[in-house]
Amino acid sequence: MGVDHLLQGCDASNLIVSTPTNKAELDALPNLTLHGMDLIETAKAAVEEACPGIVSCADIIALATRDVVVIAGGSTYAVPTGRRDSRVSLASSVNIPAPTMSVASAASAFQGRGLTLQDMVTLLGAHTVGVAHCEFFFNRLYNYSGTGHQDPNMTPSLASSLKSVCGPQLNGLGNTVALDQGTEFVFDTSYYQQLKQNHGIMQIDQELTQDPTTSALVTSFAGQSTHFDSRFAQAIVKMGNIGVLTGSQGEIRRICSKIN
């Protein structure tokens, strides 16, 4: 489920490709790192062959998100279905919270969509899998807050490792590193454990351990995998219910990348 669904809702609008007359969400700068659209299309083609016009691309995204969590070692959870797909996708509507945003500002963005502070800390735990492009944390390595130095909250060993991938003079921005430097392909609590060791990659991630409103949650999740699994299931389902289209709203796309 794309991060932009925090703001737009789970309506598969981020799967639509741009046309000569419309720049779609997929081509907005924050979404240029999204991958795996071909897998969604493959799943959609199979579903359309079995039961045409019944299952939306939005539902496939929500179900695929759950399945990826399970495949990576997380716990399964029930996914409500019945969503319909948006007929609108505008790059100008994408406004994803930046990785340099403060905890308070990020919490405000989440709360504006009905998600609690605990939901935010829980959902950021999805960073236990996946990668980040160097450009999203480059400032922490070389010019943190305009100081000309690295972020003092990042351990020297982690900084050295990241600098070997993200070179100075902007020559490594296209490279990526694992957000979880421990078990990057496993859905577990390693992400939180590393935050407590000052091994967070993104600025917003690391600040979760320093902000008094979120530090206790990080500690709780770091030590209790079962607690995190149950909370994540609740939070991801809650986010997946934001702004859904139902009934006669939207449509059931035949091809996820195109409006019918």
Q: Quickly state the pLDDT bin for 100 (edges 50, 70, 90).
A: confident
Task: Give the residue from 101, 94, 74 showing the smallest Cα distance to 235.
Answer: 74
**Structural contact between residues 25 and 259, judged by C-beta atoms closer than 8 angstroms:** no
Model confidence pLDDT, tens digit, residues 43-65: 999 999 999 999 999 999 999 99
Is 0.85 topped by the overall pTM? yes
Model confidence pLDDT, tens digit, residues 183-227: 999 999 999 999 999 999 999 999 999 999 999 999 999 987 888
pLDDT for position 171: 67
CA distance 62 to 237: 9
The predicted model gives 218-238 an average pLDDT of 92
Lowest mean pLDDT among 19-33, 53-67, 72-86, 182-196: 19-33
- Taking 50 as the threshold, does the pLDDT of residue 2 lie above it? no
pLDDT for position 3: 40
Structural domains of the chain in order of their starting residue, each with its CATH number: 5-96 (1.10.520.10), 103-237 (1.10.420.10)
- β-partners of residue 84 are 245
- Taking 70 as the threshold, does the pLDDT of residue 36 lie above it? yes
State phi, psi for 48 to the nearest 5 degrees. -65, -35
Task: Give the residue from 114, 123, 141, 119 showing the smallest Cα distance to 201.
Answer: 141
